[in-house]
Structure 1
Amino acid sequence: MRLVFADHEPHLKPNPRRDHMSGVPELSYSTLDRHGGRVLAPGQVVRTAGQSAPVGTIYRYDRLLVDESVIHDTETREQLEEAIRPTGMLMESQAASSIVAGQGSYRVPVLSTHGDQAAVDAWSLLQRLRTVNDESSLPGDLLDKVRLEHLMICSKVTPGVGSGEPPIGDSRSYGLGRIPVDMVNPMPDRKQVGRRLRVAILDTGVPTKHPAFDVSDRTEGEDTFVVVDHAFQAKLGEHSDSPAIPLDDPWEGPVHEPTLVGEVASHYGHGTFMTGLLRQMSPDVQVYSLKVVHNDGLAYEHEVIGALHHVADQVEAARGGDTEALIVDAVVLAMGYVDESPDDEPGGWIGDAVHRLAELGIPVVAAAGNQSSDRPFYPAAFAAYPQSETAAPILSVGALNPNRHIAMFSNEGPWVSCYATGAGLVSTYPCEAKGSRMPDRRAKSSILNRHRESHDPDDFSSGFAVWSGTSFAAPLAAAFLMNALAESEIGTVNGAAEASARAHEALKRLKKQLA
């Protein structure tokens, strides 16, 4: 396993010649429809007069994110609703919901008014609000509190026959992508330690049973490798507003894509694979698993924001003496989006959530994306933003091939902090995954009560797989950091400044070791 740091400090560098659709994942119509998604293509959308054309992104067309200060102030909320009414749409603010109190943003449905045939489109609505020039026009500070909700996608590579995905960055050279294998080496033993370093992984969750690790709920207080959070998942399910299956359980299906073909869902087992990499590389940590990603690889921005604030709330409560709350030492994110701002300067609240964690002394390690693009991929690209001296590091992680060259599918750019092995990795995978693809040849054994067959490409009963993606480079980078952190005195960290200093010292030590 390799980790290579960039020879510069991460920074943003505008690229005016970049293709406007660079970095936008290609998704099927059925996937977009499942999540109320729409692709913002600059040449096909309305735009505010006098403003630069947007660049491509993917957003939820019938939802907005609105700052909580607008929702809670009756006069301001009514001012916004009144400005929206002439467009033929309405903001259903009474249904506004925030997963975690005080997270800064509320998800608000946008509907057509009765008797009006106006098409519901959050982007068009925002542009119309910005072009109103009469007495109903909104002040700029209010408009800045109303934004699109992005659909975020996980960064894995699964090319191959029947995958439904076009090859990205010539990803055909990575074979069939996710394929079943068997693991020869046993998992490393876990040592008994006082307080384990804890890594939060916000992804597709982990199975309740797997031969490589044990799982418990956080309320049980057990020293299992994985801790899940049924209470948080129930809250996520309560606020679900999508045609897709709600994420109200730490682990559930569907195993298969919602088609008649019966293929294993494109991102099924994604979080399990990430968790297994930490189990191999940093066995003495504990993983705090929060399920915020659907098994087709998409996540909703407001749910990711809620999960990030939930982790921060846990840390603050634990430091304040709450024995039922969890201290988290790092957060790993494998999903992201490209922003519609032509200057690649995202607004909204996900940046606030990431920076809140950093200010609490919690490093955030995020995948740089798999679009073979230099366009900033958020939240990873927040690594390029200035931070206070007391904030923990934010790392954006690209992928290396096993030979230490950058993987063809990986994003890269001046905003990427480091690169870790992200191609041809072996890790844990749900044993129950079995798709419709069959071995090329099969015959009955003449001796044993079983078949002779060629390799079955989607029978994962072994519990292990080979996969590629910057999604998997990120937990590897986190494992290196946690191992460096473990070399220091863990003890009790009394506050954010001490935790941040410890993280920076570990990162400095790690860079020196790898130089």
Structure 2
Amino acid sequence: MRLVFADHEPHLKPNPRRDHMSGVPELAYSTLDRHGGRVLAPGQVVRTAGQSSPVGTIYRYDRLLVDESVIQNAEARRKLEGAISPTGMSLESQAASVIVAGQGSYRVPVTSAAGDHAAVDAWALIQRLRTGSGESSLPGELLDKVRLEHLMICSKSGPGVGNGEPPVGGSHSFSLGRIPVDMVNPMPSRHSAERRMRVAVLDTGVPPKHPAFDVSDRSEGDDTFVIVDHAFQTKLGEHSDSPAIPLDDPWEGPVHEPTLVGEVASHFGHGTFMTGLLRQMSPDVQVYSLRVVHNDGLAYEHEVIAALHHVADQVEASRNGEAEAVNVDVVVLAMGYVDESPDDEPGGWIGDAVKRLAALGIPVVAAAGNQSSDRPFYPAAFSAHHLPEVAAPILSVGALNPNRHIAMFSNEGPWVTCYATGAGLVSTYPREAKGSRMPDRRARSSYLNRHRESHDPDDFSSGYAVWSGTSFAAPIAAAFLVNAMADAEPGGALDSAAASARAHEALKRLKKQLA
């Protein structure tokens, strides 16, 4: 495993020659429809006169994120609803939902007004609000509190979108997808520890049974390699408003794509693979697994924000002496989005959540994306935003091939902090995954009660796979960091300043060792 740091401080540098659809992931029409998603293509959308043309992104067309100060203020809510009324659309602010108190924004449904046949589109609604006049005009400070909800995609690499459907978007993959393998070497021994370093992985979850690691709920207080959070998942399910299956359990199918073909879902096992990399490189940590990504690789911005604030709440509660709270040392994210702002500088609620963790002294390690683009991919690109000196670092991680060259699929740019091995990796995979693809050749054995066959490309009963992506470079970088942090662990509880200092010191030593 390799880790290489960039030789510059991360910064944002707009590329005027960049294609407006650069960095937008390819998705099948059925996948977009499953999540109420739409691609914002600059040449196909309305835009406010005098405003710069947007750049491509993917968003939920019938949802908006609205600042909690608007939802909780009757007068501000009335102004917003009044401005929307003439557009033929309606904002169901009474149905606004927030998963974790204080997460900054509420997710609000957008519908067609009664008896009106106007097409529902959150982007078009925001543009009309910006051009309102008279009673329908809104002050700028209120307009700034109404935004799109982005669909975030996991950064694994594979041979296209599957399902035989045409993709929608502007990027390409340059890597073979996952294939089943067997693991020859045993997992490294896990030693007892009075205080475990803990890594939060926000992804597709892990199966309750796998030979490489044990799993328990955080309420049980067991020293398993993975702990899950049924209470958080239940809350996530209660607030689900998507046609997709709710993420109300730490682990659940479907294993297969929702078609008649029987292919293994494109991102099924994604979080399991990430967890297995940590098990190989940092066997003495504990993984706190929160399921926020669907098995087709998509996550909702609102739910990711909620999970980040939930982790921050747990850290604060643990430091305040609550015995059942989960203290976290590092957060790993493998999903992201490109923002529609032509300046590539979003802030908003997901930025607030990431920066809150950094302010608590918790480093956030995020995948840089797999679109072969230099366009900032968020939240990884928050690494290039200014942070207070007392905050922990935010690391954006690109992918290396085994020969240490940058993987063709990996994003890169001045906002990428480091690169770790992310191609041709072997790690854990759910054993229940078995797809419809068959071996090229198969015959009955003459001597044993089994078949002779060529390699079955989607039978993962071995529990291991080879896969590629910046998704998997991120936990490797996190493992390097958490191991270095563990070496400097002073023991006892840390406040935010001490936790941040520990992270920066570990990062400094890593850079020196790997130079």
Give TM-score scaled by structure 1 length: 0.98
Please give the alpha-carbon distance, in whole angstroms, between the structure 2 residues aligned to 1:362 and 1:194: 20
Q: CA deviation at 1:193?
A: 1.1
Aligned residues: 513
Q: Secondary structure at the match of 2:443?
A: strand
Please give the alpha-carbon distance, in whole angstroms, between the structure 1 residues aligned to 2:298 and 2:61: 15
Q: CA deviation at 1:489?
A: 2.7
Q: CA deviation at 1:191?
A: 1.0
Q: CA deviation at 1:346?
A: 1.1
- Which residue is 2:74 aligned to? 74
CA contact (8 A) 2:110 2:120 kept: yes
Q: Secondary structure at the match of 2:60?
A: strand
CA contact (8 A) 2:371 2:410 kept: yes
Q: Secondary structure at the match of 1:135?
A: helix
- Which residue is 1:464 aligned to? 464
CA contact (8 A) 1:168 1:372 kept: no
Matches within 5 A, 1:97-116: 97-116=97-116
Structure 1 residues without counterparts, runs of 5 or longer: none
Instruction: State whether structure 2 residue 60 is matched by structure 1 residue 36.
Output: no
Please give the alpha-carbon distance, in whole angstroms, between the structure 2 residues aligned to 1:249 and 1:415: 35
CA contact (8 A) 1:169 1:408 kept: no
- Which residue is 2:431 aligned to? 431
Q: CA deviation at 1:163?
A: 6.2
Please give the alpha-carbon distance, in whole angstroms, between the structure 1 residues aligned to 2:251 and 2:384: 34
Structure 2 residues without counterparts, runs of 5 or longer: none
Q: CA deviation at 1:135?
A: 3.3
Q: CA deviation at 1:168?
A: 9.1
CA contact (8 A) 2:84 2:136 kept: no
Please give the alpha-carbon distance, in whole angstroms, between the structure 2 residues aligned to 1:399 and 1:189: 27
Q: Secondary structure at the match of 2:76?
A: helix
User: What are the Cα deviations for residues 378-415 of structure 1, in whole angstroms up to 9, with x where unaligned?
Assistant: 00000000100110000000000000000000000000
CA contact (8 A) 1:168 1:370 kept: no
Q: CA deviation at 1:162?
A: 5.1
Please give the alpha-carbon distance, in whole angstroms, between the structure 2 residues aligned to 1:160 and 1:498: 45
Q: Report the aligned-residue RMSD.
A: 1.3
Please give the alpha-carbon distance, in whole angstroms, between the structure 1 residues aligned to 2:237 and 2:128: 33
Please give the alpha-carbon distance, in whole angstroms, between the structure 2 residues aligned to 1:39 and 1:169: 13
Q: CA deviation at 1:136?
A: 2.8
Please give the alpha-carbon distance, in whole angstroms, between the structure 2 residues aligned to 1:252 and 1:217: 15
- Which residue is 1:3 aligned to? 3
CA contact (8 A) 1:5 1:418 kept: yes
Please give the alpha-carbon distance, in whole angstroms, between the structure 2 residues aligned to 1:466 and 1:160: 17
- Which residue is 1:484 aligned to? 484
- Which residue is 1:212 aligned to? 212
Q: Secondary structure at the match of 2:420?
A: strand
User: What are the Cα deviations for residues 399-441 of structure 1, in whole angstroms up to 9, with x where unaligned?
Assistant: 0000000000000000000000000000000000000001111
CA contact (8 A) 2:64 2:110 kept: yes
Q: Secondary structure at the match of 1:150?
A: strand
Please give the alpha-carbon distance, in whole angstroms, between the structure 1 residues aligned to 2:270 and 2:500: 29
Please give the alpha-carbon distance, in whole angstroms, between the structure 1 residues aligned to 2:411 and 2:122: 28
Please give the alpha-carbon distance, in whole angstroms, between the structure 2 residues aligned to 1:113 and 1:133: 20
Instruction: State whether structure 2 residue 326 is matched by structure 1 residue 326.
Output: yes
AA of the residue aligned to 1:386: H
- Which residue is 2:297 aligned to? 297
Please give the alpha-carbon distance, in whole angstroms, between the structure 2 residues aligned to 1:507 and 1:347: 25
- Which residue is 1:62 aligned to? 62
CA contact (8 A) 1:363 1:503 kept: yes
AA of the residue aligned to 1:337: Y
Return closer, same or farther for 1:490/1:192 CA change in 2, 3 Å cut-off: farther
- Which residue is 1:131 aligned to? 131
Please give the alpha-carbon distance, in whole angstroms, between the structure 1 residues aligned to 2:349 and 2:502: 27
- Which residue is 2:307 aligned to? 307
Q: CA deviation at 1:347?
A: 3.5
Q: CA deviation at 1:30?
A: 0.3
Instruction: State whether structure 2 residue 449 is matched by structure 1 residue 449.
Output: yes
- Which residue is 1:413 aligned to? 413
Return closer, same or farther for 1:170/1:120 CA change in 2, 3 Å cut-off: closer
CA contact (8 A) 2:56 2:338 kept: yes
Please give the alpha-carbon distance, in whole angstroms, between the structure 2 residues aligned to 1:148 and 1:136: 20
Q: CA deviation at 1:216?
A: 0.1
Q: CA deviation at 1:57?
A: 0.2
- Which residue is 1:351 aligned to? 351
Please give the alpha-carbon distance, in whole angstroms, between the structure 2 residues aligned to 1:386 and 1:123: 29
Please give the alpha-carbon distance, in whole angstroms, between the structure 2 residues aligned to 1:27 and 1:355: 29
- Which residue is 1:93 aligned to? 93
Please give the alpha-carbon distance, in whole angstroms, between the structure 2 residues aligned to 1:76 and 1:64: 16
Q: Secondary structure at the match of 1:427?
A: strand
Q: CA deviation at 1:160?
A: 6.6
CA contact (8 A) 1:360 1:497 kept: yes
Return closer, same or farther for 1:162/1:20 CA change in 2, 3 Å cut-off: closer
Q: CA deviation at 1:348?
A: 2.2
